[in-house]
Amino acid sequence: MKNFICHSGGAAGADFYFETFGKNFNVKTIAYSYKTKHHYSENKSELTQNEFHEGCQMVERANVTLQRFRYHRMINLLARNWFQVKNANEIFAIGSIKRTNEVQFVKGGTGWAVQMAIDSNKPVFVFDQNETRWYYWDFEINRFLVCEFKPKITNENFAGIGTRKINMFGIQAIEDLYINSFKNRNMKILYLHGLESKLSAEKRLILEEFGEVIAPDLDYFVDENCISLVFEKYINDNFDVIIGSSMGGFAGFYLSQMMNKPAFLFNPALKERSVFQEIPTVNLHKTKITILLGSKDDVVPNEKTFDFLETYKTDSQISILMNHEMAHGVPISVFKNELSTYLKSL
């Protein structure tokens, strides 16, 4: 799983809740601060003098649009806002949006960071806690538009900022943002490779978007007890799902029921195999197994899979999907699309 970092300010209100809720999802926070004894965040990062001057320049640039007065007394706070934005690839803010005939901006101190992000052409999402809805900045028309979707944190470096006067709706919006972004990213996945294949680096990266991946190196030719070997080694690991392909799909079919975990299997070699593998005689649990078959598979023909399932006695719920363009091998695009949809549904 990627290491996500929330760039924030360590202040009371929205900053506090971005930092607090982030801990539940292993999100690290960097709380930028000017030199002061009154900033107590455990994740405090003080600006250097050079960084402070850089931040001041960006404050002046933002004020070309904001046109605010008497802000120099707050320049320490405003200068540190720049580094929340500079080090983030997308910005999520809690506040309220003010609209005039010519410009739209976020009220209060949060508006400075939001404007800096707009000036830097970075994606900006603002939850208006008075209207209880998310907006995003449209760079083509230079306006905030209502989000017709639930925003998600997609970049490893993001800014989580907002008003000190956060209300219950703003607090809930931050928690929901984290849940919507990361609820499927803390999984523990057991992947079982095929007879003469291994989990490729590209496919591993796709799975790691959802959590930790365990992919044991199995020698089906040498050890005819691979299923028992995996079961005994990982029985106490709290896997969320088992994924297998071909011979690994065959192993995953039984391990899913032995370990009482859901499984997604690509072209599993269920009826017959070129290499003998022992099927353990243990109690099988009722679980959910999804099988994806390639219509063009000439290694493990679909008919043999259907024949096996017609006679196999089980209380498990087995669902079969068909991909009419896929053969025995699983293209990276199919792997990504099918598993992303499946894992998000768990």
pLDDT category at 210 given cuts 50, 70, 90 is confident
Q: Do 141 and 255 sit in the same domain of this protein?
A: no
pLDDT category at 345 given cuts 50, 70, 90 is confident
Exposed e or buried b per residue across 153-182, where buried means at least 16 C-beta atoms within 10 angstroms of its C-beta: beeebbbbbbbeebeeebbebbeebbeebb
Question: Are the beta carbons of 84 and 39 closer than 8 angstroms?
Answer: no
* pLDDT score of 2 more than 90: no
Domain harbouring 125, CATH code: 3.40.50
Dist CA 25 CA 206 (whole Å) = 19
pLDDT category at 1 given cuts 50, 70, 90 is low
* pLDDT score of 328 more than 90: yes
Contacts of 46 (CB under 8 A, 6+ apart): 33, 34, 35
* pLDDT score of 3 more than 80: yes
- Tell me which residue of 68, 66, 81, 172 sits closest to 127, measured CA to CA: 172
Residue 260: both structure tokens together: 């009482």
Q: What is the pLDDT of residue 293?
A: 98
Boundary-marking domain end, from 153, 182, 211: 182
Q: Do 68 and 199 sit in the same domain of this protein?
A: no
pLDDT category at 62 given cuts 50, 70, 90 is very high
Domain harbouring 257, CATH code: 3.40.50.1820
- Tell me which residue of 40, 279, 331 sits closest to 31, measured CA to CA: 40
Q: Do 174 and 193 sit in the same domain of this protein?
A: no
* pLDDT score of 218 more than 80: yes
Query: Which of 145-149, 161-165, 229-233 is predicted with the least confidence, judged by mean pLDDT?
Result: 145-149
User: What value does the mean pLDDT take over residues 333-340?
Assistant: 95
Q: Do 164 and 207 sit in the same domain of this protein?
A: no
pLDDT tens digits along 110-144: 999 999 999 999 999 999 999 999 999 999 999 99
User: What value does the mean pLDDT take over residues 246-271?
Assistant: 97
User: What value does the mean pLDDT take over residues 280-309?
Assistant: 94
Q: Do 229 and 313 sit in the same domain of this protein?
A: yes
Q: Do 217 and 175 sit in the same domain of this protein?
A: no
Query: pTM score, two decimals?
Result: 0.64
Range of the structural domain that residue 193 is part of: 187-345
Q: Do 286 and 153 sit in the same domain of this protein?
A: no
Dist CA 227 CA 220 (whole Å) = 10
Q: Do 253 and 198 sit in the same domain of this protein?
A: yes
pLDDT category at 39 given cuts 50, 70, 90 is low
Q: Do 168 and 194 sit in the same domain of this protein?
A: no
Boundary-marking domain end, from 182, 205, 235: 182
Dist CA 346 CA 342 (whole Å) = 7
Query: Domain total for the chain?
Result: 2
User: What value does the mean pLDDT take over residues 45-74?
Assistant: 94
User: What value does the mean pLDDT take over residues 330-340?
Assistant: 95
Q: Do 35 and 156 sit in the same domain of this protein?
A: yes
Q: Do 173 and 192 sit in the same domain of this protein?
A: no
Boundary-marking domain end, from 132, 153, 182: 182
Question: Are the beta carbons of 133 and 146 closer than 8 angstroms?
Answer: yes
Query: Which of 196-200, 272-276, 285-289, 341-345 is predicted with the least confidence, judged by mean pLDDT?
Result: 341-345
HEC assignment per residue over the chain: CCCCEEEECCCCCHHHHHHHHHHCCCCEEEEEECCCCCCCCCCEEECCHHHHHHHHHHHHHHHHHHCCCCCHHHHHHHHHHHHHHHCCCEEEEEECEEECCCCEEECCCHHHHHHHHHHCCCCEEEEECCCCEEEEEECCCCEEEECCCCCCCCCCEEEEEECCCCCHHHHHHHHHHHHHHHCCCCEEEEEECCCCCCCCHHHHHHHHCCEEEECCCCCCCCCCCHHHHHHHHHCCCCCCEEEEECHHHHHHHHHHHHHCCCEEEECCCCCCCCCCCCCCCCCCCCCEEEEEEECCCCCCCHHHHHHHHHHCCCCCEEEEEEECCCCCCCCHHHHHHHHHHHHHHC
Q: Do 18 and 155 sit in the same domain of this protein?
A: yes
pLDDT category at 40 given cuts 50, 70, 90 is low
* pLDDT score of 6 more than 80: yes
Mean pLDDT of the chain: 94
